[in-house]
Amino acid sequence: MRAVRVTAFGAAPELVELPDPVPAPDGVVVRVEATGLCASDRFAWLGHDDGVTLPFVPGHELAGRVVATGPDVRRIRIGDRVTTPFVCGCGDCPQCRDGRSQVCPRQQQPGFTHDGSFAELVALRHADHNLVPLPDGTDAGGAALLGCRVATAYRALTGRGGVRPGDTVLVIGAGGVGLAAVLVAATLGAEVVVADPAPAARARAAELGAAGTLDPAEGPERVRELIGDGGARVAVESAGRAEALAFGIRALRPHGVLVQVGLLTAEPVVPVPEMIAKELVLAGSHGMAAADYPALVELVDSGRLDPARLVTRRIPLPDAPAALAAPPEPGSLTVVLP
């Protein structure tokens, strides 16, 4: 099979021929229809993830069809169209048995703990526990995004933030997860305001349903002006900047919730007195377990949510090495079609 392989952190990725993967007894092999290019793929390429060992094939956000199954697989069949959460649980630990595979202590992640989906084929373990069936009519590029950014945004908003129709939501950072959060929150009937320093990212957020946008330099008081009622009820921090956490907390109304999704590169300063006085909640969120996917897939299958709207560029696999190494463009989202 053809695959993109990284042999040195930060060095040019290569398009190579590799042996076709073989399914583990509890696993499958999926022929990749589409795979998203995510910021975390770039972080892995640069060597910023301690769990990645060289050489490796990046890619964790995928959709495709099962072409081979291991002898212990019971629920998944050859020919099934599937995606998978980027966090794949072991299926046996207390967290997995309780439907919380996104925090499985023995989790695996394609493109990080083993070869990923920047390839024609990808092997996935614990298939019966992790794979999510997809409707045949779903756009491949949009379906791939259900593996990471759309599912991450959906659970941050619904599972951790408890977003309901009519809620006010602040999204901090209009990257991949942030733009997905805009699309999902607007679909759920929330009023969305987006804070991002890049004009192109703010413009893209407006196209996807944001009612208002601002540069974070304008301060949290500008959020309260745009939203009213004392601020947002839910804020999603997806920028991964330490100062953004305090910005989000100060933009919340009393009893608001800040959901931290972005991975911070420095320890944040948390305005604890304000959290106490306003009885605020700070919640972490790390992807979504396969057990929580049915409601999201139903939103897509019904036509209410179209994740393909997030895609701005589709490229063939030979173009993926250059795309992986290129600086990200604000507001853009690339999908690779092997």
**Successive 10-residue mean pLDDT values, the chain, 338 residues:** 98 98 98 97 92 96 99 98 97 96 96 98 98 95 98 98 97 98 98 98 98 96 90 96 94 98 89 97 97 97 97 98 95 97
Q: In CATH, what number does 2-148+288-336 get?
A: 3.90.180.10
Residue 101 to residue 128: CA distance in whole angstroms: 13
Question: What are the start and end residues of each CATH 3.40.50.720 domain in the chain?
Answer: 153-284
Region for 2 from its dihedrals, namely left if φ exceeds 0, alpha if ψ lies in -120 to 50, beta otherwise: beta
Question: Which tokens go with 161?
Answer: 């933030």
| 55 cis-preceded (ω within 30 degrees of 0) | yes
Closest CA to 241 of 216, 223, 271, 214: 216
Residue 229 is predicted with a pLDDT of 85
Residue 214 is predicted with a pLDDT of 97
The highest-level CATH class for domain 153-284 is alpha beta
- The sign of the dihedral angle between the CA atoms of 204, 207, 209, 215 is positive
Region for 135 from its dihedrals, namely left if φ exceeds 0, alpha if ψ lies in -120 to 50, beta otherwise: beta
Residue 264 is predicted with a pLDDT of 86
Residue 51 is predicted with a pLDDT of 86
Please return the burial class of 137, using the count of CB atoms within 10 Å of its CB with bins 0-12, 13-18 and 19+.
Answer: exposed
Residue 297 to residue 147: CA distance in whole angstroms: 11
CA torsion angle for 230, 234, 240, 246 (degrees, to 10)? 30
Residue 224 to residue 261: CA distance in whole angstroms: 22
Question: What are the start and end residues of each CATH 3.90.180.10 domain in the chain?
Answer: 2-148+288-336
- In three-state secondary structure terms, 252 is strand
Residue 50 is predicted with a pLDDT of 87
